[in-house]
Amino acid sequence: MTKPIYVLNGPNLNRLGTREPHLYGSTTLSQVEAMCRAAAGDLTVVFRQSNREYDLIDWIHEAIDEGCAIVINPAAFTFTSMAILDALKMFPGPIIELHITNIHRREPIYHRSYVSLVATAIIAGLGAGGYGVAVRAALDLVEPKPA
């Protein structure tokens, strides 16, 4: 496999490590990136974060042409962005929706994910360590283990 896995992060995730550590822990986004690269082994990881919806959409479009899988933590855009949903609908490979917290144990506003409508799998509530799980799951979905 030569195509990279795209790991895309939405708004406020650049503040990991300092943002509400009682919810999100003390792991920084650069530490999360290192976890993703370690979990991917030799496979290239395109790791990005933006507070802007249009950046995420442009990166999803890029992944449609160049990626084998997407791991996406759209953060607040999970619950608001039909545009991200529409972009993800075009992606032909596995999509892993990721949340650091268990969104279903939080306030009701966090219970309806647009991304879940197209996600291959959803990982929520494992903390920052969920990123490594998500990357390994994406690899397994792209290159299934022989029976």
**Residues with catalytic roles:** 24, 99
Q: What residues have CB less than 8 Å from 6, skipping those under 6 apart? A: 45, 46, 48, 59, 60, 62, 63, 67, 69, 70, 71, 72
The gap from C-alpha 132 to its chain's centroid, in whole angstroms, comes to: 11
Q: Could you tell me which of 75, 84, 72 has the C-alpha nearest to residue 122?
A: 72
In this structure, how many other beta carbons lie within 10 angstroms of the beta carbon of residue 144? 8
